[in-house]
Amino acid sequence: MVEWRAVSLTLAIVALCFIGIPIKIDNLKSLETRLLFDSYLARFNKSYDLYSKDYEERYKNFKEAITQFQDWNKFRNSSQLAYYGFTKFADLSQNEFKSRYLRHRRSHLENHRHQHPLSEKNGIDRGRPLLKLTGQARPKIVDWRRQGIVSQIKNQGSCGACWAFSTISNAESMLALKTGQLRVLSVQEAIDCAGNGNLGCNGGDTCNLLEWLVENQIQIQTEQQYPLVLHNDVCRLNKSMDHGVAIRDDFLCRDFSDQEEQMLDVIANHGPITVAVNAISWQYYLGGVIRFHCDGASLNHAVVIVGYDLTADIPHYLVRNSWGKDFGENGYLKIAIGANV
Residues 6 or more apart whose Cβ sits within 8 Å of residue 152? 184
Please provide residue 91's backbone torsions phi and psi, each rounded to the nearest 5 degrees: -100, 10
| Rounded CA separation 180/161 (Å) | 28
Catalytic residue among 104, 112, 301, 316: 301
| Rounded CA separation 157/310 (Å) | 32
Q: Is 143 left (phi over 0), alpha (psi -120 to 50) or beta?
A: beta
Catalytic residue among 61, 122, 198, 321: 321
* 321 catalytic residue (yes or no): yes
* 301 catalytic residue (yes or no): yes
The three-class DSSP label of residue 138 is: coil
| Rounded CA separation 38/53 (Å) | 15
Length of the chain (residues):
341
Taking the alpha carbons of 187, 270, 121, 261 in that order, is the dihedral positive or negative?
negative
Number of neighbours of residue 244 by Cβ within 10 angstroms: 20
Please provide residue 103's backbone torsions phi and psi, each rounded to the nearest 5 degrees: -130, 30
Answer whether 65's CB lies under 8 Å from 90's CB. yes
Q: For residue 118, give the DSSP letter.
A: H
Catalytic residue among 17, 159, 162, 207: 162
CA–centroid distance for 47 within its chain: 28
Rg of the chain taking only CA atoms, in angstroms: 21
* 193 catalytic residue (yes or no): no
Catalytic annotation, residues: 162, 301, 321
